[in-house]
């Protein structure tokens, strides 16, 4: 049966990442591709999954694969079957051995942050949500309903408000803001006079998948740190929304894991949320450094039928590398 390799996939709305690992947690292949969220990424989810798999398996015999776990944003509820179908198609397309199992991005993000079976995940990337875990099982979740109905405090939520502020600054409903220039750069439009600029921004916004709005979030953070009042209010509101979502899944027991680009990148939202979590729990939160590694941990647990050793968990999820850098 060869080495008995496992695959872990973290399929987000913006990007898909894949790792191939040995049972002792050594990563022997990595791959990446575009987003594979069936609700917000647009395009071919199965194609994105297969592209990430092919790259990760480029130096590995697919027949050595024993099992794989795919964690996907949008893979809960109504999106579950669509994601399972996409994962099965991608698995077959690359000729991988063994079985493929699908879970949500919540499981892989939480496991990527801690080896413990209980705690709370707070995620803000393309989407946003909080989830409580007990005994390794998801016990409660809040938000994560997509850009149209929720994801409050996410990168897309921030980007959408930046676009609204930019258009309002053009037609006079809002105050002047550096976000107008940021929106023009994001939309790749020049600065025609008057109403034409607003219409260009509107056209660019509707021409792209909703997840693309998250690309504006770093510019909002930078503008806030530079003193732009509009950007500061957006960031403060995003942090308040995330902390309210976090409070909703309380009480807190176990580790708190932060995940997603908004909370793992330097910026005002991350600072406010970290401070808020610290005030509530009295301990600093952990970070989900590698979602694909978290999915590989879950795959190893399925393969062995036992809890993955802490050292293997740290190797797969990147926490051992962080400890070495900070040591």
Confidence of residue 307 (pLDDT cuts 50, 70, 90): confident
How far is Cα 321 from Cα 94, in angstroms, rounded to an integer?
30
What pLDDT, on the 0 to 100 scale, is given for residue 38? Answer: 54
Confidence class of residue 73 from pLDDT cuts 50, 70 and 90? confident
**Domain for residue 35, yes or no?**
yes
Above 70 in pLDDT, residue 43? Answer: no
pLDDT of residue 15: 85
- Residue-wise pLDDT for 1-27, tens only, equals 346 899 999 998 778 999 999 998 899
**Residue 47 covered by a domain:** yes
List the single range of 43-47, 96-100, 165-169, 191-195 with lowest mean pLDDT.
191-195
- Find out whether the peptide bond into 325 is cis, omega within 30 degrees of 0: no
Rounded Cα–Cα distance for residues 238 and 215 (Å): 15
| Contact by Cβ (8 Å): 198, 191 | no
Domain assignment present for 73: yes
Q: Is residue 188 part of a domain?
A: no
The more confident residue out of 274 and 77 is: 274
pLDDT band for 104, please (50, 70, 90 cuts): confident
Give me the DSSP letters along 258-309.
EESHHHHSSSHHHHHHHHHHHHHHSSPPEE---HHHHHHHHHHHHHHTSPPP
In a domain, 145, yes or no: no
Q: What is the per-residue pLDDT for 41?
A: 45
153: pLDDT strictly greater than 80:
yes
**pTM score of the predicted model:** 0.83
Q: Is the pLDDT of residue 243 over 80?
A: yes
> Looking at residue 21, what DSSP letter applies?
E
Q: Is residue 76 part of a domain?
A: yes
220 exposed, middle or buried (CB, 10 Å; 0-12, 13-18, 19+)?
A: buried
Domain at 64, CATH number: 3.30.420.40
Domain that residue 67 falls in: 5-115+289-326
Structural domains in the chain (count): 1
Ranking 5-9, 63-67, 249-253 by mean pLDDT, the lowest is 249-253
CA dist., res. 187 & res. 190, Å (int): 9
User: Smallest Cα–Cα separation from 120: which of 145, 146, 140?
Assistant: 140
In a domain, 186, yes or no: no
Answer yes or no: is 124 within a domain: no
What pLDDT score was predicted for residue 193?
A: 55
pLDDT for 185 = 93
């Amino acid at each position: 049966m060869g080495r008995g390799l496992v695959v872990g996939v973290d399929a987000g709305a913006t990007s898909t990442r894949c790792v191939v690992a040995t049972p002792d947690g050594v990563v022997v292949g990595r791959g990446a591709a575009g987003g594979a969220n069936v609700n917000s990424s647009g395009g071919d989810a199965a194609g994105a999954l297969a592209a990430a798999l092919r790259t990760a398996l480029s130096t590995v015999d697919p027949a050595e694969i024993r099992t794989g776990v795919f964690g996907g944003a949008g893979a809960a509820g109504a999106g579950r079957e669509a994601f399972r179908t996409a994962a099965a198609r991608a698995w077959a397309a690359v000729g991988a051995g063994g079985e493929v199992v699908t879970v949500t991005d919540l499981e892989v993000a939480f496991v990527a942050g801690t080896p413990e079976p209980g705690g709370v995940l707070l995620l803000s990337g393309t989407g946003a949500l909080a989830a409580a875990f007990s005994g390794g099982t998801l016990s409660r979740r809040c938000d994560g309903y997509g850009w149209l109905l929720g994801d409050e405090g996410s990168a897309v939520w921030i980007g959408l408000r930046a676009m609204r502020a930019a258009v309002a600054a053009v037609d006079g409903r809002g105050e002047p803001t550096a976000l107008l220039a940021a929106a023009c750069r994001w939309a790749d439009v020049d600065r025609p006079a008057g109403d034409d600029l607003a219409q260009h921004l509107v056209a660019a916004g509707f021409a792209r998948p909703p997840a693309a709005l998250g690309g504006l979030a770093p510019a909002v953070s930078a503008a806030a740190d530079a003193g732009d009042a509009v950007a500061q209010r957006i960031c403060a509101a995003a942090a308040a929304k995330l902390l309210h979502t976090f409070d909703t899944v309380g009480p807190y027991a176990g580790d708190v894991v932060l995940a997603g680009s908004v909370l793992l990148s330097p910026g005002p939202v991350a600072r406010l949320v970290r401070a808020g979590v610290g005030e509530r729990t009295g301990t600093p939160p952990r970070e989900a450094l590698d979602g694909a590694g978290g999915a590989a941990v879950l795959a190893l647990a399925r393969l062995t039928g036992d809890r993955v050793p802490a050292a293997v968990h740290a190797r797969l999820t990147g926490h051992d590398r962080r400890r070495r850098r900070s040591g």
